[in-house]
Amino acid sequence: MAKRDAVMKKPKDTKGTLLRLLGYMKEFKWIILIVLILSFASNVLALFGPKLAGAAINEAAAGKGKVNFDKVYFYAGRMLLFYLVSSGLSISISVIMMYLSRFIAKKMRKDIFDKLMRLPVGFFDTHQAGDIISRVSYDVDVVSTCLATDVVAIMTGLVTVVGSFVMMVSISPILAVVSLVTIPAATVYTAKMRKITQPRFSKRSAKYGEMNGFVEEMFSGQKSIIAYAYEDKVSEKFDKINDEASDAFYDAAYYGMTMGPSVGFINNIGLSLTAMFGSMLFMGGMIDLGKISSFILYSRKFSGPINEIANIVTELYSALSAAERVFAMLDQEEEVKDSQDANVLDHVRGTVEFENVRFGYAKDKTIIHNLNMKADAGKLIAIVGPTGAGKTTIINLLMRFYDVDEGSIYVDGKESRTYTRESLRKAYAMVLQETWVFKGTIFENIAYGKENATMEEVVAAAKAARIHPFIMRLPQGYETVISEDGGNISKGQKQLLTIARAMLYNARMLILDEATSNVDTSTEQQIQKAMRELMKDKTCFVIAHRLSTIQNADNILVVNQGDVVEQGIHETLMAKKGFYYKLYAAQFE
């Protein structure tokens, strides 16, 4: 399972990550400014509270029987008011920041998903679903939690730090310099710790992704795993991955967790030094006792937020690592954009021509060597050949899921790359052997290719695909919810649904890749008529093993090891007694 780690490796660029993360907040800069002002105000108000309390107590200090209750009530009333406003402010701040972080999380999730939609098909053939999903379900969550609480804490903390420092300088510049020693010490320390912890946090995120990938893959094969009594072995494998993930977590936290106490320690040292030095100044008659007292009071206020920030910094690092994974995903190379002067393919006639096409999924492994073929509009082209000959690859090229390495494919006389991808793909309806349904009603699944399809159209398509009676037997008919993983519908039925979907879609060209391989013969016979109706006047590319389905093709391409070895109509190919003849005869062995 070594290569399971589908992490997209990129040089680590913390600053860049941070800047991009800030980029997400840019949009909200005014809101953030307001939050800052609010938190400043609430801090000031909170400072006023004790002052007012002190004033009230001063009044009370008059002693037995001499308390001026009017004044006491006045100050107490003020206190209440200030606390009320301050609480209101802090509720607003935390709610605003919470909203903000959820917005950003939502935006990140959206960005990742939108990105997925723009990635080439090849990406999905090589990356684990679970790892991609964990970027959305785990990494984004880490980032958003950090934004919601930590960013505000850091910002308000900084306000307090700066404020207190100003006060400290005004009391005693010399002492302020002494206590300032802690800042470089803390900075150097956190910078050093960042070097240690950040790679560990990145590893943690990557390991979680890996674990998620494994889990998703194993769950998707759960039935087979049970059937082969493979559970224990798989669980052992999981134990290993789980162990690695737990270790990565421990390793990161082991170092991360020292940050808070250590910075606290530096602060305490600073405090002690200030106290000693201050005492000496006092003894030297350079400062009075009251000033030391208030200086120390402020230096505690000064170090409080630094402590807090040091605690938070760990989370910030882990958020940065998570953000890095999110951004790595967003930096994946997209499907090559349509060229600027790309045309929209409309009024499709449906001629397709392959000219000297060479292609391989990996650069060094050519699958298709030199493919030439021509499909005239409205003709039925069958592609036959032994498994692994490259039939599905041809379809990948037709649909431009992949682009050819050499040579050209012409559609309606023009290089297919001169069309926009969307219009080119829309020109084809496709039914694949790998059926795909999503969680939704049967109606939605059939109507998927055609927006605003009416119920009549959907029913007609379902009837043509011979799936209507089955649907009607379901308790909620077309409104029955089906799902990919629920297993409440058989594979053959899924295939029929997919066919109904294609029938409704009604494009000018049709691709059928083993479209009926899991459908029983009599149903297949029944839908043949509808299929023929569907295929009429359309350019069709059909891959089928049951050669009976393609006997009346206008051109049969016999593919072997990526090359067309024979082509022609059934009769000629049979007469030739070549490769096709052998394939055909094998059916009846």
- Of 356 and 454, nearer to another protein (C-beta) is 454
Which stretch in 162-170, 191-199, 204-212, 340-348 sits in contact with another protein by CB under 8 A? 204-212
Residue count, binding to another protein (CB under 8 A): 191
Q: Which of 10, 19, 27, 114 binds another protein (CB under 8 A)?
A: 114
Q: How far is the CB of 579 from another protein (least distance, A)?
A: 10
Kindly write out the interface string for residues 471-500 of this chain, putting x where it contacts another protein by CB under 8 A and - elsewhere.
--xxxx---xx-xxxxxxxxxxx-xx----
Instruction: Give the CA dihedral 157, 158, 159, 162, nearest 10 degrees.
Output: 130
Which residues does residue 358 pair with via DSSP β-bridges, in sequence order?
Answer: 406
Using rule CB under 8 A, residue 301 touches another protein: no
**d(C-alpha 60, C-alpha 73), whole Å:** 11
Q: What is the CA radius of gyration of the chain?
A: 35
Q: How far is the CB of 15 from another protein (least distance, A)?
A: 27
Residues present in the chain in total: 589
Q: Which of 18, 41, 47, 116 binds another protein (CB under 8 A)?
A: 116
Q: How far is the CB of 521 from another protein (least distance, A)?
A: 5
CB-based contacts of 382, cutoff 8 Å, min separation 6: 542, 543, 544, 550, 553, 555, 556, 557
Using rule CB under 8 A, residue 183 touches another protein: no
Q: Taking Cα atoms as reference points, which of 429, 491, 503 lies closest to residue 464? A: 503
- Report yes or no: 428 and 398 within 8 Å, Cβ to Cβ: yes
Query: φ, ψ for residue 271 (rounded to 5)?
Result: -60, -45
Matching residue, tokens 């709610």: 95
397-416 positions binding another protein, by CB under 8 A: 399, 401
- Of 23 and 475, nearer to another protein (C-beta) is 475
Long-range contacts, stretch 452-461, CB < 8 angstroms, 24+ apart: 453/504, 457/504, 458/500, 458/504, 461/500, 461/501, 461/503, 461/504
Kindly give the pairing relationship between strand 563-568 and strand 380-384: unpaired
Long-range contacts, stretch 487-494, CB < 8 angstroms, 24+ apart: 489/437, 491/435, 491/518, 492/518, 492/519, 492/520, 492/523, 493/467, 494/435, 494/436, 494/437
Using rule CB under 8 A, residue 364 touches another protein: no
Using rule CB under 8 A, residue 355 touches another protein: no
CA 283 to chain centroid: 64
Q: How far is the CB of 513 from another protein (least distance, A)?
A: 8
Q: How far is the CB of 304 from another protein (least distance, A)?
A: 11
Which stretch in 183-191, 194-202, 388-396, 454-462 sits in contact with another protein by CB under 8 A? 388-396
189: which 2 tokens?
């320390």
- Of 18 and 107, nearer to another protein (C-beta) is 107
Q: Where are the beta strands (DSSP E) in 400-484?
A: 406-411, 414-415, 428-431, 440-441, 481-482
Using rule CB under 8 A, residue 312 touches another protein: no
Using rule CB under 8 A, residue 366 touches another protein: no
Using rule CB under 8 A, residue 24 touches another protein: no
Q: Which of 448, 478, 541, 580 binds another protein (CB under 8 A)?
A: 448
513-542 positions binding another protein, by CB under 8 A: 514, 517-525
- Report yes or no: 353 and 409 within 8 Å, Cβ to Cβ: yes
538-567 positions binding another protein, by CB under 8 A: 545-548, 551
Using rule CB under 8 A, residue 224 touches another protein: yes
Q: Which of 9, 15, 30, 229 binds another protein (CB under 8 A)?
A: 229
Using rule CB under 8 A, residue 575 touches another protein: no
Q: Taking Cα atoms as reference points, which of 85, 79, 75 lies closest to residue 41? A: 85
**d(C-alpha 510, C-alpha 530), whole Å:** 14
- DSSP structure class, residue 336: P
380: which 2 tokens?
């039925």
Query: φ, ψ for residue 396 (rounded to 5)?
Result: -55, -35
Which stretch in 10-18, 19-27, 407-415, 576-584 sits in contact with another protein by CB under 8 A? 576-584
Q: Which of 121, 188, 286, 455 binds another protein (CB under 8 A)?
A: 121
User: Edge-to-edge strands of the sheet including 352-359?
Assistant: 368-375, 352-359, 406-411, 414-415
- Of 308 and 412, nearer to another protein (C-beta) is 308
**d(C-alpha 302, C-alpha 349), whole Å:** 76
Using rule CB under 8 A, residue 106 touches another protein: yes
255-274 positions binding another protein, by CB under 8 A: 257-258, 260-262, 264-265, 268-269, 271-273
- Of 445 and 567, nearer to another protein (C-beta) is 445
Q: Which of 17, 128, 182, 205 binds another protein (CB under 8 A)?
A: 128
Q: How far is the CB of 537 from another protein (least distance, A)?
A: 20
Using rule CB under 8 A, residue 70 touches another protein: no
Report helix, strand or coil for 207. Answer: helix
Q: How far is the CB of 406 from another protein (least distance, A)?
A: 21
30-49 positions binding another protein, by CB under 8 A: 49
Cα distances from 117 to residues 114, 409, 420, in angstroms, run 5, 24, 16
Q: Which of 18, 25, 47, 98 binds another protein (CB under 8 A)?
A: 98
Using rule CB under 8 A, residue 189 touches another protein: no
450-469 positions binding another protein, by CB under 8 A: 451
Report helix, strand or coil for 118. Answer: helix
Using rule CB under 8 A, residue 8 touches another protein: no
CB neighbourhood size of 499 (10 A): 28
Using rule CB under 8 A, residue 238 touches another protein: yes
Q: Which of 187, 293, 454, 572 binds another protein (CB under 8 A)?
A: 293
Using rule CB under 8 A, residue 28 touches another protein: no
Kindly give the pairing relationship between strand 352-359 and strand 406-411: antiparallel
Q: Which of 99, 187, 339, 472 binds another protein (CB under 8 A)?
A: 99
- Of 10 and 106, nearer to another protein (C-beta) is 106
Using rule CB under 8 A, residue 133 touches another protein: yes
Which stretch in 188-196, 237-245, 348-356, 454-462 sits in contact with another protein by CB under 8 A? 237-245
- Of 18 and 282, nearer to another protein (C-beta) is 282
Report helix, strand or coil for 130. Answer: helix
Using rule CB under 8 A, residue 588 touches another protein: yes
400: which 2 tokens?
């431009």
